Structure 1
């Protein structure tokens, strides 16, 4: 069973299971997706931090690139090394445009005989068109429209999944393997979008419901919706495309310099070589960009939402919030947003205008809670 469509919205292979589990469904990136289950967003968030949560992320785009020049082709579109990505490893990457803006963020795995690429749902069509437009001789792109994608996240995720696939216990953060889970050929990476240890598992659509039920049958695991996924990733300082990063933000403005491989920054044979490199590398060299993405912590419990304007002590507008909530694990009002670079140093106090009141917020380190990826 591949993707279904009713009206204007697509359905993932797990749609009927979500309804059976009592999910509240909402439109998201062109799909009907579960925003929460009867447990509720806060309890789902804490369940993932304390035990394990299972997320349907089948709306994401899954692609295979094959052919001898696949790594070189993809490396020409991103500021990270793909050619030297070891087999069995995954890497975070960014598609940039000619102005250095971010077209999307993505995950790339080298399986030895192919590259497996996962892109964001809202950018799926444009990303695939972007890659197709740059295909070189002998490189082929295959859309994997007949696969589901689930994320099993949390400190008990490995314990739960290893009962079904003992091999996963050998993996560390950003490892990726093709393996059988209960006889089904899956792609499994030890990674995720919550700041916790966990796995992302690509499953043939025909087996998706059965394998998902097996994972949900594990005593540590509950179904988790998009609401908790958002608060978990924000506590972990992770960007949401279209909100915290977009075509108007460069990786340097977005505080993502770590997502530019060192060999692509320095003088040398592989420096630059990606769209907008001159602008991005210029910002690195000059240490000069007008604004920066920062973390913010409020003094009270009131959430400071996306779009809230930020001001200095004299009432001058200096930026805006791009994501904000009350963090159930951080036990604080947390946000990220862009401020004029002069206001980006840690401990700087800025003011968020909420319902006519100026609420103080302090520029703070991200993540807001400790990331607990398993590195061995």
Structure 2
């Protein structure tokens, strides 16, 4: 895998016996003890993920100035985001599609973003082209990002960072973790309670080892991260959402706050606003849905969906799918015409030339357990 980026914790992952593979141009740990064991670790105790491949961006301007500027590029209410809080957002394009999804955090003096690994360069270019003079975007190359996820995440982190226990879902704060200055958010990508910890890359191993020394914690790789996020009904950019998918089609209209909707204090003013706001009022032609294949065979990304077992053209497709360890059965997500996006609707997915039954299901498959 020559030519790929390596994580700051690359040596630690190899010491722990990780199976490494390429993801978004970086050698990443896929699994250690096995995907199912690591999935169950996150559901029952606490799992530590290295997500340092993600892009961490700082907007250099006072937070209120940066917020007004960023609202030109995203449909979120950034100006209303209070210090010490974070929210989910997405960059949109003139056609209403999603260029990337991201986290936006207000640390009081500045805004900090976390963007997807495969979109780092494109997002930085988008920011630099779209932000006004006086607001500079910097992609940080000297920071690591750890995700501690699971019902015992607080118990594991609090002895190393007492301020962590007082945080609630989507809070952000700066404090030391095991003696290392860090930016901490109470958030994650698993549906479980947990934290994401940004810290200097050259101190990441100290913090990771301190967390792994806790009896509640074990390492986990991208395999378990994917099964967890699928059960939680969370989108993966490039599969479930992309530049041709609108937020309304993806079921992400909840992430567009009232201030940016039609009639709101700062309605519109972002790329694709006309289409997105119209779809919020009138509905979209298609919708992302949960899917429950019958039997034990998973339906993975790309499986075409049909209204009937024989004949007819495909009406949609699976975008993410696999076996859900907590559900104990295959689960999937995909897009179907809005008229068929109702719980209990029976469809058929074509797997290796055979059309197998699949039922539309509500999302998520496993309810979130955030600390609110």
Alpha-carbon distance in structure 1 between the residues aligned to 2:127 and 2:28: 27
Choose which of 232, 256, 265 in structure 2 pairs with 1:236.
232
CA-based RMSD of the aligned residues comes to: 1.1
Contact persistence 1:66–1:113 (CA under 8 A):
no
Task: Quote how far apart the aligned CAs of 1:51 are.
Answer: 0.5
Match of 1:369 among 357, 366, 369: 366
Aligned to 2:40: 46
* Cα distance between partner residues in 2 of 1:268 and 1:48: 39
Q: Secondary structure at the match of 2:289?
A: strand
Residues 44-80 of structure 1: per-residue CA shift (max 9 Å, x gap): 1011101100000000000111213211111111111
Contact 1:78 1:274 in 2 (8 A): yes
Q: Secondary structure of the equivalent of 2:315?
A: strand
Matched, 1:7 2:2: yes
Counterpart mapping for 1:91-110 below 5 A: 91-110=87-106
Once the two structures are superposed, the pairs formed by residues 230-269 of structure 1 within 5 Å of their partners are 230-269=226-265
SS of 1:200 mapped into structure 2 = strand
The structure 1 residue matched to 2:303, chosen from 297, 305, 308, is 308
Q: Distance in 1 between matches of 2:333 and 2:101?
A: 17
Find the aligned partners of 2:287 and 2:264 in 1 and give their Cα distance: 28
Distance in 2, Cα, partners of 1:235 & 1:199: 19
**Matches for 1:36-185 after TM superposition, within 5 Å:** 36-37=31-32, 39-68=33-62, 69-185=65-181
Deviation at 1:141? 2.0
**Residue of 320, 334, 337 corresponding to 2:334:** 337
Partner of 1:205: 201
TM-score of the superposition, structure 2-length normalised? 0.97
Q: For 1:270 and 1:19, how far apart are their aligned partners in 2?
A: 49
Q: Distance in 2 between matches of 1:299 and 1:8?
A: 42
Deviation at 1:321, TM superposition (A): 0.2
Shift of 1:140: 2.2
Q: TM-score of the superposition, structure 1-length normalised?
A: 0.96
Which structure 2 residue ranges, 5 or more long, are not aligned?
Answer: none
Offset at 1:299?
A: 1.8
Q: Which residue of 2 aligns with 1:3?
A: none
The alpha-carbon deviation at position 285 of structure 1 amounts to: 2.0
Q: Deviations over 1:76-116 (max 9, x none)?
A: 11111001100000000010000000000000100110001
How many corresponding residue pairs? 368
Equivalent pair of 2:178/2:210 in contact (CA under 8 Å): no
Given the alignment of the two structures, is residue 348 of structure 1 paired with residue 342 of structure 2, yes or no? no
Distance apart, 1:165 and its partner CA? 0.5
Give structure 1 stretches of 5+ with no counterpart.
1-5
Give the deviation of 1:266 after TM superposition. 2.3
**2:291 is matched with which residue?**
296
- Shift in Å, 1:335: 0.2
Residue 136 (structure 1) shift? 1.7
The reply on whether 1:325 has 2:312 as its aligned counterpart is no
Instruction: Assess if the C-alpha contact under 8 Å between 2:258 and 2:264 holds in 1.
Output: no
2:22 corresponding residue in structure 1? 27
Superposed displacement of residue 137, structure 1: 2.7
Residues 269-297 of structure 1 show CA distances to partners (whole Å, capped at 9, x for unaligned) of 4111110000111112222x221110001
1:355 is displaced (CA, Å) by 1.7
